[in-house]
Chain A
Amino acid sequence: MIGLERRASLPLGRRIGILSVAVVAGVLTSGLLIWLSGYDPVKAYREIVQGSFGGGYALSQMVAASIPLAIIALGTAVAFRVQLWNIGGEGQLYMGAFAATGVELVGGPGGWPALVLIPAMMVAGFVGGALWAAIPGWLRAYFGVNEIITTLMLNYVAILWVNYLVYGPWKDPEGHNFPFSRRFPPAATFARLGEGQLHHGVWVPLIAAGVLLVVMQRTQWGYELRVMGENPQAARYAGINLRRNILLAMMVSGGMAGIAGMVQVSGVVQVLSGQISNNYGYTAIIVAWLGQLHPIAILVVSCLFGTLVNGGFAVSQVGIPQALGFLLQGVLLFSVLGIGDFFSRYRIVVRRESRVVSPPVPVLRTDEP
C-alpha cells in the first residue's frame, strides 16, 4: 500500500534538489504551452537566456529588473511572516513613486543637491507606500477586515491616482502631451552603472536585506513578529501587542514597496507615469514565497524572476508576446507548489499490508505555518 508520511525535517541540499526538479518541470510544461500556442519554445528560451545572460548589457538589464522585485519581496516577507497577505505591492509601489515625485517637484527646481534630494525622495517613497498599506493594515488589525481584497482593490485606485496626476496636474508642459511628469534632474536620479539600465539603486535591496536580517533575528520587534507568525495564541498570552504589530508589519511591507517605486522612477524611468512597473508588485509576491521569506534567498530568487520579466522584453523582439514572462511565472509557481512544496512536506512510503499497524506517532509540526 502506498501512503504519505509527513517529513519531520528536510536537509537544505535535498530541499534545493526538489526545487530544481520543480523548476525543470515548470520549464518543460511551459515549453509545451508555448509550442501548443504555435511558437517555437527553443527559440523563446534561447531569447530569454540571451536577453539576460548574453553579455554585459543583458546582465545589466536583468539585474535592473530584479531590483524592484527584491525590494518589494523583502517587505512582503515581513507581512507574510505574520500571516498577512499583502497583495498590494503594486499599488504601494505607485504611491511610493508618487510621494517621491512630489518631493522631486519641490526639491528639483529648488536646486537641492543629490545628497539631500535622493534620501528625501527615498523617505517620501517609504512613507507613501507605508501610509497606503496602513489603510488595509488598520482595517485588518482593528476590525478584522480581510486584507487580501482590500490591498488588491487599492492597487487599482493607486494606479488611477498616478494616472490622474500625469494626465493632469503633473503633466510635463513641454512633454508633447505624453502622460509623463517632467523629467527628473540629475540630482534626483541614480547614476547608471555601465551601458544598460543598471543603476546605483542596486545597493538598496542589498542594504535592505542586511537590515531586515538584523531586525528579524536580533531585535525584540523581529522576535515578536516571529512568535506571532509561529503561534498567534502564544504571542497573545506573552502580552505581545498583536494589533500594533499587524499594522506595523503592513506598513513596513508597504514602505518597502514604496521605496521600490522611488528606486524605479529615480533609477530606471526618470519620470512619473502610469507605466513605471511591470507588474513587479505581483511578481514580488511569488519571489517572497519562493524565497521562503528569507532575505538572502529572496535576493537569489528575485534574479531568477528578473530573468523572466526581462525575458518577456527579449522574446517580444522576435515576435513572441511579452506576456510569456508572466505565463512562465504562473507555471513555475504552480510546479513549485505542486512538486516542490508537496515533496518538501511529505514523502511517499510503501507499507506492507500484512504488518501490524502501529498507533500513529505524533509528529512535531515544525514546517506548518
Chain B
Amino acid sequence: MTWSLFVAICVAAIASGTSIAFPALGEILAERSGVLNLGVEGMMLMGALAGYIVVVDTANLWLAFVAAILAAMALALIHAFLTVTLRANQIVSGLAATLFGTGLTSFIGKPFVGVTAPAVLETLPVPLLSDIPFLGDVLFNQDPVVYVSYVLAPAVWYFIYRTRPGLNLRAIGESPATADAMGVGVNSRRYLYILLGGAMAGVGGAYLSLAYSRTWIDGLTAGRGWIAVGLVVFGMWDPLRALGGAYLFGFVDGFQLRAQALGSTIPAFFLNMLPYLFTVLVVAISSGEKLRRKLGVPTALGLPYWREERT
C-alpha cells in the first residue's frame, strides 16, 4: 500500500465515520437516559431524504439540514411517545420506527432517485491547520459538518461527565426512581434525549445524502443506523470512544471502497462484507458479560418508568 493511498483511505475514513458518529452520539444520549432507540436507521433515512428533497427544491444546505433534523425528530417523537408515555416495548417500537422510516422514505423518495442535487457539501480547508503534513490532509481538509463533529463529541462527553444536567441524565438511566425522588423529571428528560438523538441521526443521514454519497437511493444508509447502535456498545456509552469507533469503521469502509477502485482481485462482494463483519467483531469483543458489568451500561436501559409502579 502506497503512502498516498493510505492518506486517501484516512480521508475517506473520517468522512465515512462522520456519518456514523452523529447518530452514535445521539444514541448515547438516548441510551444514557434509559431508552434504547433501534429506530436510528429509520431516522437517518428520514433525515437523508428530507435533506435531499429540500436541497433539490431550494439549493439551500442550511434549510436542508434543518429539514433533516425536523424529519428525523418527528419519527423520534413517535418513538418517545410510545416508549415513554405509553411504556411500549422499546425494542419493538424501535423496529417499527426503522420499518416505518424505510417504508416512508422509499415511498416518498421514488421521484428523487437519480435526481442530481444542485448543491452539495463542499470541503472547506481550515487555514494553516490544513497545511500540516498528513494530519492536515486527513483532519482539516474536510467539510464543515466534519468539523462540527470534532467539537460535538468532546462537548457531549463534557456534558455527560462534567455538568449537572449530565449527572441527572446518567441518574435517570441508572435509577429512574431515585432520580425522580430527587426531583429530576424522568419522562420529560427521556423525551428530550430521544429527540436530541433523533436530531443527530437526522444530521448523520443528511450528511450521507448531501456530502458522502451525494445522491438519494432506496435504503441509502445500508445499515449505518444499526452500525451506530453497535458502536455505542463498542464505545461503552462514552462519546469519545464512540467517535474513535466510528473512525475505525470509516477506515474499514474507506479501505474496501479503495480496494475495489484499485481493481483488487478479491471480489467486491467480500470487500462489501467487511464493514458488517467489522461491526459484529467489535460488538462481540466489547460486550462480554463480565466486561459489561464493569463498564457502565445504563442499568435501567430498556425499562419503562412509571412512578406508580416503582419498586
Contact = CB atoms under 8 A, between A and B. Distances in A.
A282 B42 CA distance: 13
A3 to B, nearest CB: 8
Contact of A331 (B100, B226, B273, B287): B100
A33 B38 CA distance: 23
Contacts of B267: 164, 168
Interface in A150-183: 150, 152-154, 156-157, 160-161, 163-164, 167-168
Contact of A333 (B92, B218, B279, B292): B92
A323 interface: yes
- Residue picked from A139, A285, A338, most chain B C-beta under 10 Å: A338
B104 A337 contact: no
Contact of A334 (B100, B106, B270, B308): B100
B74 to A, nearest CB: 12
Contacts of A230: none
B287 A323 contact: no
A53 interface: no
Contacts of A342: 86-88
B103 A326 contact: yes
**Size category, B interface:** 35 or more
A333 B100 contact: yes
B142 interface: no
B88 A341 contact: yes
A163 B95 CA distance: 26
Contacts of A6: 309
A149 B229 CA distance: 8
Given A139-B284, A342-B86, A148 B103 contact: no
A337 B96 contact: yes
Given A145-B287, A164-B270, A330 B277 contact: no
Interface in B29-76: 38, 42
A121 interface: no
B222 interface: yes
Contacts of B279: 149, 153
B92 A289 contact: yes
B226 A153 contact: yes
B102 interface: yes
A113 to B, nearest CB: 35
Contacts of A326: 99, 102-103, 106-107
B72 to A, nearest CB: 15
A334 B284 contact: no
- Residue picked from B42, B81, B104, most chain A C-beta under 10 Å: B104
A231 interface: no
A157 B100 contact: no
B36 to A, nearest CB: 9
Nearest to A144: B289
B95 A153 contact: no
Contact of A327 (B107, B226, B276, B284): B107
A157 B277 contact: yes
B287 A321 contact: no
Contact of B287 (A85, A144, A333, A338): A144
B57 to A, nearest CB: 15
Interface of A: 3-4, 6, 33, 37, 85, 87, 139, 143-146, 148-150, 152-154, 156-157, 160-161, 163-164, 167-168, 282, 285-286, 289, 321, 323-331, 333-334, 337-338, 341-342, 360, 369
